[in-house]
Structure 1
Amino acid sequence: MRLILASNSPRRRQLLTDLGLAYEIRLHDVDEDFPPHLQRAEVAEYLAAHKAAAYAAGLAPDELVITADTIVCLGDDVLNKPANAAEAAAMLTRLQGRAHDVFTGVCLRAGDGRQVVFSDQTTVHFRPLSPAEIDFYIAHYQPFDKAGAYGAQDWVGMVGVTRLEGSYFNVMGLPVHRVWAELARLGALPAGLPGA
């Protein structure tokens, strides 16, 4: 099957490339609102499936689209992408010194109608950060495209994340171990790769 990545995330692109997968990028604007009764993993899975639905009509029978959405949860509060520096600082202030959960929802939707939706969870432990560290990170890395206002692969992840329980790549935006397994199960891995 021909793989399509429906994401503007450079991290997701790099992860799929590092897996040895060939893919095409297709982008549509899709709103990221979700019903208020959904919680935690349900939000990530809903958003991934919602994004995939926007591509369904344009898929050829031999195409498969990969959509994903990553959210950060502090308890039951969902922290999405910050709108500005003040919002980013408020998020990072709430996260520092605490553990929180990162959920990435993924939808694999094939042009022949098959669809798989799943999510993965990683618990991230942050040491307490100083206001100066938070301000430095925001000023130099501008994490406005990242759920929870941080990237684990960025400076703040290197100096602030003390421990992960679960997949590091999930925190980056794609649980590649699960994506690989589901692509293999669907018979969508390219010839020449293990499991194809």
Structure 2
Amino acid sequence: MTRRLLLASGSPRRARLLRQAGFIFTTCAPKVDEQRLAGEPPRVMVERLAVVKASNAHARAAGSNDTNIACLAADTAVVLGDQALGKPDGLAHAAQMLSQLSGRVHQVCTGIAVLDGTDLRSTVVISEVTFSPLSAEDIRDYCATGEPLDKAGAYAIQGYAGAFVQRLVGSYSGVVGLPLYEVCQLLGQAGIRPERSQTHD
């Protein structure tokens, strides 16, 4: 029997990327505490949270007697120095984050995990992003779109904020929230392959 793929995420961006890669899946938003532990490095945090999310979704599915599944989960953090920038709690907080990122280089760390029965596979993908200098007007206009509110680091590289990015070294899809190359590798190890017989828009 073919194992079913469950994306443990409520993010439409992650679902869009996974669908773009040709995978057939269902989604389940995990219920976990996403707080960073004291002294925890960001790259450790994102991998830990990805594992926790995958485990949470797998346990919920198993509780429904759905055991023939593989759970994929991810967590992303924008890192500036030793500071992890999560999702802003409002527009003022978003503007503050964007001011911090303006004209500087930051990292985007995305942890991914695949839980296939008792087999757990996980990794972290780190990309380096250089922002152009942003004026107060740039930040105000961008915040007015509402786009920063549910994004780590208060920006979406695939949205209006793509115009702020001078340079990207690493995984574009990883910055969006789901590094497709690494996801395909982990899912392939779990025996799950994309179905690419249909075209995409």
TM exceeds 0.5?
Answer: yes
Matching residue within 181, 185, 195 for 1:177: 181
Post-superposition shift, 1:28? 3.2
Identity of aligned residues (%): 39
- The TM-score normalised by the length of structure 1 is 0.92
4+ residue runs over 4 A deviation? 190-193
1:116 maps to amino acid: R
2:89 maps to amino acid: A
Matching residue within 27, 30, 33 for 2:35: 33
CA RMSD of aligned residues (A): 1.5
CA deviation string 1:41-74 (max 9, x = no partner)? 1111011111122123233332011111110000
- The TM-score normalised by the length of structure 2 is 0.90
Distance 2:147 2:8 in 1: 23
Is 1:5 aligned to 2:7, yes or no?
yes
Is 1:95 aligned to 2:134, yes or no?
no
Distance 1:179 1:102 in 2: 16
Distance 1:156 1:76 in 2: 23
Is 1:139 aligned to 2:144, yes or no?
yes
Does structure 2 retain, via aligned residues, the 8 Å contact 1:34–1:47?
A: no
Sort the Cα spacing of 1:100 and 1:191 in 2 relative to 1 into closer, same or farther, 3 A. closer
Instruction: Give 1:100-139 correspondences, 5 Å limit.
Output: 100-110=106-116, 112-139=117-144
Does structure 1 retain, via aligned residues, the 8 Å contact 2:21–2:194?
A: no
Q: For structure 1, which segment, 77-86 or 136-145, has the greater mean C-alpha deviation from structure 2 after superposition? A: 136-145
Does structure 2 retain, via aligned residues, the 8 Å contact 1:34–1:46?
A: no
Does structure 2 retain, via aligned residues, the 8 Å contact 1:105–1:120?
A: yes
CA deviation string 1:131-183 (max 9, x = no partner)? 1000100111331110000000111222x101100011100000110000111
The runs of 5 or more residues in structure 2 that have no matched partner are none
Count of aligned pairs:
191
Does structure 2 retain, via aligned residues, the 8 Å contact 1:3–1:63?
A: yes
